[in-house]
Amino acid sequence: MEDAEIALMFSLLAIPVAIWLQLWVKSRRARRKNVLGEEEFENTAWALFSIVIEGTAIVGGLIMIIIGSSGVIKYIINFYT
């Protein structure tokens, strides 16, 4: 295989992983909601930990989607030109 096909495979693999990360964060937030729809934490340390972990997952997932999409688009452009 050439380098372009390998980059395409990694790009196509990154997109489902990024979507899974977004769904994981959404389910974590849904589990913490109380009857009124507000998020509840056991203590401040747990809240800060969740903010850091979920924020990293969201930003990382968005970066993975951007990189994966650009890899696919780059492959299509190079393949058809």
pLDDT tens, position by position, 48-72 = 999 999 999 999 999 999 999 999 9
Contact at 8 Å (CB) between 19 and 25? no
Rounded to whole angstroms, how far apart are CA atoms 50 and 4? 38
Mean pLDDT for 4-27 is: 92
β-strand partners of 6: none
- Cα-to-chain-centroid distance, residue 59: 7
DSSP letter for 12, please.
H
Using a cut of 0.85, tell me whether the model's pTM lies above it.
Answer: no
Q: What is the mean pLDDT of the chain?
A: 91
Tokens of 38: 């507000």
- Residue 37: pLDDT band with limits 50, 70, 90: confident
DSSP H or E segment with residue 68: helix 44-80
- The pLDDT, as a whole number, for residue 1 is 56
